[in-house]
Amino acid sequence: METISIINAKDYVDQKVRIGVWLTNKRSSGKIAFLQLRDGTAYFQGVVVKNNVSEDVFKLAKEVRQEASMYVTGTIHEDTRSHFGYEIEIEDIELVGQSEDYPITPKEHGTDFLMDHRHLWLRSKRQFAIMKIRNEMIRATYEFFNKEGFIKLDSPILTGSAPEGTTELFHTEYFEKDAYLSQSGQLYAEAGAMAYGKVFTFGPTFRAEKSKTRRHLIEFWMIEPEMAFMHQEESLEIQERYIAYLVEKVLENCDYELDILGRDKEVLKRYTQLPYPRISYDDAIKLLQESGKFPDVKWGEDFGSPEETYLAEHFSKPVFVLNYPKAIKPFYMKPHPTREDLVVCADLLAPEGYGEIIGGSERATDPEYLAKQIEDAGLNKADYEWYLDLRRYGSVPHSGFGLGLERAVTWITGEDHIREAIPFPRLLNRIYP
């Protein structure tokens, strides 16, 4: 008799097996007990029939508490009524760890309560599905960029300078010098691109802003590719291929998890169809104004959630908004070749109300222009001399972008709140020890 994982039950139909599990819920109807079980790979049902087991086993099946751990022994059968498709007819139960008064009962709970119990909420079925999809997106990210010839670089988490200004940074001291928790790995990735052509970083980033929207986090994980000898349009093509690849791999490898979440797979399939539409910032402003729904929208302002939602829904798929006003974008972006008031950049807006999932641009290459931009942004030029060196010694056209993993996970899973897409909320409204 083998000890297996639930996910492999399909390979053991009509065979006797042993599985280490936790109990998520149970119900009984007289002489039959139905145990909802999980083991970290999947969820399925265990059936205990009173006439087929000892009195002690049936008594234990009736009395065991939510989240108790145990080994169950029994025979795997097909179960066409469930999402998973299989169940186990239990013959024996070996209790491993008891559980008393588990706080997250099967009833509805508020988000704040669940976040306070995040270490336990991870065990729930929906959280299981979200984290499995998150893991698949991470796996697919490495696969995609490896296939595209990128090298993975690790940028520092403690930095001495800020890519987008210091107002949203967590400040600390590094042996009597100012330091900040990383806001982005981009500047370091640009150095990598000048050495290796195509690179990407993937790591935690921090924003010191007390946002309470369902889209924002203080700490999140960012994928940031940088490509040498590449202009804006080539970068957009990589971005849309990357997003389509993530969606394709989730559809291919997370069918069970998408069923748990009730995600519409036909809608997701639409997001794999390329190319994605493109619209200039100027035309986006006109579209919003002509809709009659945004009387206060003005050229020169960034888009809020309602505007982003309208634009993406107008196209029913992700849409690139191109060339924003220079005044509302970071210092490192390339100036537009014919418009002094614009920069060469693009945001990718996701439909269904999820907003921006990628921000990117072609990077400025003129060291004198960039030095002035740094000073105009109120930053210390001396802190960026190394960054200016990248332009002084063999500068080339280069582009890059950043994708926030948690927001992309929230979109692809169709969840309401971004907080469900991060495993542990270290700096999210509460500090864990």
pLDDT at residue 1 in the model: 87
pLDDT, tens digit (0-9, with 9 covering 90-100), for 22-54: 999 999 888 999 999 999 999 999 999 999 999
Domain co-membership, 158 together with 67 = no
Sign of CA dihedral 315, 320, 322, 325: positive
- pLDDT band at residue 183 under the 50/70/90 scheme: confident
pLDDT at residue 163 in the model: 60
pLDDT at residue 365 in the model: 97
Q: Where residue 87 sits, what CATH number does that domain have?
A: 2.40.50.140
Query: Within a domain: residue 265?
Result: yes
What SS3 class is residue 180? strand
Q: What does the mean pLDDT of the chain come to?
A: 92
Amino acid at 352: E
Q: Which of the 8 DSSP states describes residue 303?
A: P
pLDDT at residue 194 in the model: 98
Query: Within a domain: residue 426?
Result: no
Q: Which of the 8 DSSP states describes residue 302?
A: P
* Structure tokens belonging to residue 377: 């942004």
Query: Within a domain: residue 239?
Result: yes
Range of the domain at 266: 118-421
The secondary structure of 339-353 as a DSSP string is -TTBBSEEEEEETTT
Domain co-membership, 93 together with 143 = no
Query: Within a domain: residue 108?
Result: no
Q: Which residues on neighbouring strands pair with residue 89, listed in sequence order?
A: 47, 75
pLDDT at residue 419 in the model: 62
pLDDT at residue 430 in the model: 44
Distance in angstroms (rounded) separating the CA atoms of residues 93 and 193: 57
- pLDDT band at residue 432 under the 50/70/90 scheme: very low
pLDDT at residue 428 in the model: 42
pLDDT, tens digit (0-9, with 9 covering 90-100), for 254-275: 999 999 999 999 999 999 999 9
Q: Is residue 421 pLDDT above 90, yes or no? A: no
pLDDT, tens digit (0-9, with 9 covering 90-100), for 100-144: 999 999 888 988 898 889 899 999 999 999 999 999 999 999 999
The secondary structure of 332-391 as a DSSP string is TBPBPSS-TTBBSEEEEEETTTTEEEEEEEEBP--HHHHHHHHHHTT--GGGGHHHHHHH
Distance in angstroms (rounded) separating the CA atoms of residues 140 and 135: 9
Domain co-membership, 93 together with 122 = no
* Structure tokens belonging to residue 45: 């049902």
Cβ(17)–Cβ(73) below 8 Å: yes
pLDDT at residue 426 in the model: 47
pLDDT, tens digit (0-9, with 9 covering 90-100), for 332-389: 999 999 999 999 999 999 999 999 999 999 999 999 999 999 999 988 899 899 999 9
Q: How many domains does the chain have?
A: 2
Query: Within a domain: residue 112?
Result: no
pLDDT at residue 220 in the model: 83
Query: Within a domain: residue 311?
Result: yes
pLDDT, tens digit (0-9, with 9 covering 90-100), for 197-253: 999 999 988 877 765 555 567 788 999 999 999 999 999 999 999 999 999 999 999
pLDDT, tens digit (0-9, with 9 covering 90-100), for 57-78: 999 999 999 999 999 999 999 9
Domain co-membership, 6 together with 142 = no
Query: Within a domain: residue 102?
Result: no
Q: Which residues contact 274 (CB under 8 A, 6 or more apart)?
A: 240, 241, 244
Of 308, 296, 347, 310, which Cα lies nearest the Cα of 325?
Answer: 347
Q: Is residue 159 pLDDT above 50, yes or no? A: yes
pLDDT at residue 219 in the model: 80
